[in-house]
Structure 1
Amino acid sequence: MSKITEFTPLAQPVSRDDKPDYFVERDGLVFAGTHLIVDLWQAEHLNDSALIEKTLRNCISAANATLLHFHIHAFEPNGLSGVAVLAESHITFHSWPDQGYMALDIFMCGKAEPHKCIPILKAAFNPGSVQISDLKRGVVG
């Protein structure tokens, strides 16, 4: 039987006076970054790896983020998964073309602006609906 222990953080929270550059202050909070969980429904072109890569590269540019690595994996008979590793964190996605559904995970730290990805995604995939969860990660205090 395993014993449950209380979580002890390895590092102390960052104070407002010595916060690293990648932390931001917005809406009265100090935090590391914004994490968007984006669901596109009734979307098009979800098995087009070239379009998806071009679209995510456009998102990265618009958000003022820095691309470090990009990879897409194709599934048989269809569907794609991919990751863009960013200096500011990442964008990941998985598509279900038969369902017209794409799940995206957009996490950007510091001054990057992940919300600027949304209009680009809408223009590229023409979804019937978009669901967005907007989370602040690494909230200090």
Structure 2
Amino acid sequence: MAQALAQLGMNSGLDPRNTQGTTQVANEDRPVWPEADNGKDYYVSRNGVKYAGTHLLIDLWGASRLDDIELVEEALRRSAIEGGATILHCHLHHFQPNGGISGVLVLAESHISIHSWPERGYAALDIFMCGDCDPYKAIPILKEAFSPATVTLAENKRGLVP
């Protein structure tokens, strides 16, 4: 693994599987937080914190219709639009024989991805939206589409400016 990472110009000592917490590495050739050339970086500034965007990790348990590719695409698209995002591309793959779906909706403001295991009634979704978009607006749409018994949620602020 170390050799493969070295070939990619990566330090195996920074492999996240080998560390706990957050590791910050400074490159002496450039500032840690360079400013955008045009003065517009689309970062979010809220409550004195500046960051790239909000990344939600959503688990749906006891969910239904996770093998319905048309419904999955519609739910992802509605989630993006409701959150204020701009859809650039959608790619979904329907697995057989269990009917699971994996895919991504690429947004101008980041992405929404899904991986489903209909045989277990489980789906894992990532919703990462930058700028003024609101990923939380997707949750009611996902609940309506898949009727999960349980929804678990974790939030990360990505690209926090030190």
Q: TM-score, normalised by structure 2?
A: 0.79
Which residue does 2:92 correspond to in 1? 72
Aligned residues: 139
How far apart are the structure 1 equivalents of 2:154 and 2:57? Answer: 5
Q: CA deviation at 1:5?
A: 6.5
The higher radius of gyration belongs to 2
Fraction of identical pairs, as percent: 49
Is the Cα–Cα contact under 8 Å of residues 26 and 32 in structure 2 kept in the other structure?
A: no
Alpha-carbon deviations, 1:39-59, whole Å to 9, x = none?
A: 000001000000010111110
1:105 aligns with 2:126: yes
How far apart are the structure 2 equivalents of 1:38 and 1:100? Answer: 14
Correspondent of 2:103 among 82, 94, 110: 82
How far apart are the structure 1 equivalents of 2:13 and 2:119? Answer: 44
Task: Describe the SS at the equivalent of 1:139.
Answer: coil
Alpha-carbon deviations, 1:13-62, whole Å to 9, x = none?
A: 156xx963410111321000000000000001000000010111110110
Q: 1:5 to 1:48 in 2, by over 3 A?
A: closer
- The structure 1 segments of at least 4 consecutive aligned residues displaced by more than 4 Å after TM superposition are 1-6
Is the Cα–Cα contact under 8 Å of residues 90 and 106 in structure 1 kept in the other structure?
A: yes
How far apart are the structure 2 equivalents of 1:75 and 1:68? Answer: 23
Q: 1:26 to 1:14 in 2, by over 3 A?
A: farther
Q: Which has the higher contact order (CA 8 A, sep 6+)?
A: 1
Q: Which consecutive residues of structure 1, in runs of 5 or more, have no partner in the other structure?
A: none
Which residue does 1:114 correspond to in 2? 135
Alpha-carbon deviations, 1:47-89, whole Å to 9, x = none?
A: 0000010111110110010000001101111201010000000
Is the Cα–Cα contact under 8 Å of residues 103 and 113 in structure 2 kept in the other structure?
A: yes
Q: TM-score, normalised by structure 1?
A: 0.90
Which residue does 2:82 correspond to in 1? 62
How far apart are the structure 2 equivalents of 1:79 and 1:39? Answer: 15
RMSD between aligned residues: 2.1
Which residue does 1:136 correspond to in 2? 157
Matches for 1:18-97 after TM superposition, within 5 Å: 20-77=40-97, 78-97=99-118
Amino acid at match of 1:38: I
